Amino acid sequence: MKIVEQIKQPIAFEMELFEKKFKLSMSSKVALLNRITHYIVNRKGKQMRPMFVFLVAKMVSDGEISERTYRGASVIELIHTATLVHDDVVDDSNQRRGFFSVNALWKNKIAVLIGDYLLSKGLLLSIDNNDFDLLKIISIAVREMSEGELLQIEKARSLDITETVYYEIIRQKTATLIAACCSLGAASVMPNSVHIENMRKFGELIGMAFQIKDDLFDYGETQIGKPTGIDIKEQKMTLPLIYALNQATKKEKKWLINSVKNHNKNTKRVKEVIAYVKENGGLDYAVNKMKAFQNEALQILETYPESAYKNSLKLMVDYVIDRKK
Give the CATH number of the domain where residue 75 resides: 1.10.600.10
Closest CA to 276 of 316, 309, 249: 249
Q: Above 60 in pLDDT, residue 221?
A: no
At 106, the pLDDT band (50, 70, 90 cuts) reads confident
Domain range for 122 is 3-322
Domain count across the chain: 1
Contacts of 25 by beta carbon, 8 Å cutoff, 6+ apart: 74, 78, 121, 125
Closest CA to 122 of 176, 88, 83: 83
8 Å CB contact between 75 and 134: yes
pLDDT at residue 223, rounded to an integer: 45
CA–CA distance from 255 to each of 235, 251, 259, 266, 277 (Å)?
Answer: 14, 6, 6, 14, 12
**Across 27-36, 60-69, 149-158, which has the greatest mean pLDDT?**
60-69
Q: Lowest-confidence range among 11-20, 56-65, 92-101, 272-281? A: 92-101
- ∠ Cα 177 80 58 (to 5°): 60
pLDDT at residue 212, rounded to an integer: 94
**Between 258 and 309, residue with greater pLDDT:** 309
Model pTM? 0.89
Q: Lowest-confidence range among 157-161, 216-220, 279-283? A: 157-161
pLDDT at residue 193, rounded to an integer: 92
pLDDT at residue 203, rounded to an integer: 97
CA–CA distance from 252 to each of 262, 263, 283 (Å)?
Answer: 15, 15, 18
Q: Convert 267-281 to b/e letters by CB count within 10 Å (16 or more is b).
A: eebbeebbebbeebe
